[in-house]
Amino acid sequence: MRSEASPLRPLANHDSPRGSGFRVPAEWEQHRAVWTAWPAAADLWQDELGAAQVEFTALCRAIAGADDPSSSAPACELLEVLVVDDEAERDATAALAGLPVRFHRIPYGDIWLRDTAPVYSRSDSGEVAAVCFRFNGWGEKYLFAPDLALARAVRQASGLHSFDVPMIFEGGAIEVDGQGTAITTTQCLLNPNRNPAMSKAEIEAHLADALGIDKLLWLGDGLLNDHTDGHVDTLVRFAGPGRMLCMEARDSDDPNREVLAAIASDLSGMRDALGRALELVRLPSPGLVENADGEVMAASYVNYYISNRSVVVPTYGSRHDAEAVAIIASCFPGRRTVGCSARAILGGGGAFHCITQQEPAAGQVGAR
């Protein structure tokens, strides 16, 4: 069940991002770089490690527009890639040869930088800052010691001014339109395994300060077997101000049929921070996607990544792949939309948006 939010009341904190004039821009605004990490943990990926590295490489090539012959393509963002040791750096260097990449020797537990790296914000004057939240392994389910300190390590590597926010939060839990509106789920942000001592109003106030948002829309539950407790970036995404992409079940055995129907119903009654009713763009769900053990995986087409040149959409070998890529492409006509396999990465718990974190370009306020 959704909760339509009233305008947020941020904390009276002039040292916060909002108090200093910062807001998180929309993902379609210009990036300086994208932060990500090379899959290298054989104990976590096991037999899927090689396939995950192949999918990671394809993602990076698509982000860079390496296969796009267009001379009018916008400037490519730098690939800021974390590696754990010499062997990983050698492997990643060979795989990403010819791409604009810089490697960082920073320890990490796994590759989900959307949740473990900083969230980047930009001021009205165009300055970029890193906003560092606390991280507890998605409600203490997957605790890797390096990930608990990763946001600050990446911030240090970026050399940017930073803000520390005293709450548990993951970047995949929220989606912003860059014009004051954000959307999330109660399953994640009101889960007692994150911030049990904080009320809904307190969570809203902290996020208003940290992200520079004016209105937070609330959905209910996320996809079946989503390890993150319902991250919104597997459910819905803004495709421009006032425009929302959401999935619908096309198959009778879709395990998320009821959840997706409830999301669409809730969205139909929502308005953004500027009072606009949301325009819904519907695309198919991947349907039933299982791992080798027959367990349902939380497959989602809206877990795409928007780069300066491309929109990279995860695909899963579903009969709906091509249609989903085409619908997403129609929403981003200025970019080349590419469908790339993410089935191996999904086996680790997410897809392309989950393993990337964009850093906006300085001084490019409002650029699409």
Mean pLDDT of 222-234: 97
Buried b (16+ CB within 10 A) or exposed e, 52-74: bbbbbbbbbbbbbbbebeeeeee
pLDDT at res. 133:
98
User: Tokens 């974390």 appear where?
Assistant: 82
pLDDT at res. 367:
47
pLDDT at res. 3:
45
Sign of the four-CA dihedral 248, 254, 257, 259: negative
Buried b (16+ CB within 10 A) or exposed e, 13-48: eeebbbebebbbbbbbbbbbbbbbbbbbbeebbeeb
Q: Are 35 and 154 in contact (CB under 8 A)?
A: yes
Lowest mean pLDDT among 4-8, 96-100, 218-222, 223-227: 4-8
Separation between Cα atoms, residue 136 and residue 143, nearest integer Å: 7
Q: Are 232 and 222 in contact (CB under 8 A)?
A: yes
Mean pLDDT of 238-255: 97
pLDDT at res. 1:
41
pLDDT tens digits along 87-132 = 999 999 999 999 999 999 999 999 999 999 999 999 999 999 999 9
pLDDT tens digits along 169-210 = 999 999 999 999 999 999 999 999 999 999 999 999 999 999
Q: Biggest alpha carbon distance in the chain?
A: 53
Mean pLDDT of 147-152: 96
Taking all residues of the chain, what is their mean pLDDT, rounded to a whole number? 94
Half-sphere exposure for 30 (CA within 13 Å, toward CB): 14
Q: Percent of the chain beyond pLDDT 70?
A: 93
Given pLDDT bands bounded at 50, 70 and 90, which one contains residue 368? very low
pLDDT at res. 104:
98
Domains and CATH numbers, the chain: 22-360 (3.75.10.10)
Given pLDDT bands bounded at 50, 70 and 90, which one contains residue 66? confident
Separation between Cα atoms, residue 162 and residue 131, nearest integer Å: 6
The catalytic residue among 60, 246, 331, 354 is 354
Mean pLDDT of 320-329: 98
List Cβ neighbours of 31 (8 Å cut-off, separation of 6 or more): 77, 307, 308, 358, 359, 360, 361
Buried b (16+ CB within 10 A) or exposed e, 350-364: bbbbbbbbbbbbeeb
Hey, what are 163's tokens?
């803000």
Does residue 141 surpass a pLDDT of 70?
A: yes
Given pLDDT bands bounded at 50, 70 and 90, which one contains residue 85? very high
CA dihedral 244, 249, 254, 257 (to 10 degrees): 70
Q: Percent of the chain beyond pLDDT 90?
A: 91
pLDDT at res. 2:
43
Q: Is 354 one of the annotated active-site residues of the chain?
A: yes
Does residue 158 surpass a pLDDT of 90?
A: yes
User: CA 36, 152, 103: angle at the middle one, nearest 5?
Assistant: 35
Mean pLDDT of 22-37: 98
Does residue 155 surpass a pLDDT of 80?
A: yes
Q: Which residues pair with 298 in a beta bridge?
A: none
Instruction: State pTM to two decimals.
Output: 0.94
pLDDT at res. 309:
96
Given pLDDT bands bounded at 50, 70 and 90, which one contains residue 291? very high
Hey, what are 346's tokens?
């999904």
Hey, what are 270's tokens?
């929502």
Mean pLDDT of 201-227: 97
Q: How many CB atoms lie within 10 A of CB 322?
A: 11
Does residue 68 surpass a pLDDT of 80?
A: no
Mean pLDDT of 308-326: 98
Separation between Cα atoms, residue 300 and residue 291, nearest integer Å: 14
Q: How many CB atoms lie within 10 A of CB 219?
A: 25
